[in-house]
Amino acid sequence: MSEEAPVYETTDSIDIQAFSQLACAQHKDDAGFKVPSPEEIKALRNYLGLSQVACARFTGVSYKPEKGSSIVRKWETSKENRNHKPIPYAAWRLLLAAAKVIDLDEDIEISKQRPSI
């Protein structure tokens, strides 16, 4: 079953309720979880009103005020591009929580309930 995820281009077009249903918004232990696409990362960053530098500061990755953040740029670069880097799960969850797509308290409870390996 292959579904195309909607691509959100601007802050005005993002529907947080719909975004919360995307596979990238699910907990990583859920069978339906998928790593967010560069378009989903950029849409959420824009929804939050964060520049790439502000996103870098918020998620704790490096940046240069005059040049931006190559790390955030790589998260938002097409997966076909050799410079693409996946966003770390913790950074993604932090952005989701900031946008109120997820509840971190629920994430903590889910993590507590998972059997240890």
**pLDDT, mean of each 10-residue run, the chain (117 residues):** 42 78 91 94 96 96 92 95 94 96 90 73
Residue 15's pLDDT is what?
87
Residue 117's pLDDT is what?
56
Q: For residue 3, give every residue at least 6 positions away whose Cβ sits within 8 Å of its Cβ, in sequence order, or none.
A: none
What domains are defined for the chain? Answer: 11-107 (1.10.260)
Amino acid (one-letter) located at 47: Y
Q: How far apart are CA 117 and CA 40, in angstroms?
A: 31
Cβ proximity of 38 and 57 under 8 Å: no
Q: How far apart are CA 34 and CA 50, in angstroms?
A: 23
Residue 115's pLDDT is what?
67
pTM above 0.85, yes or no: no
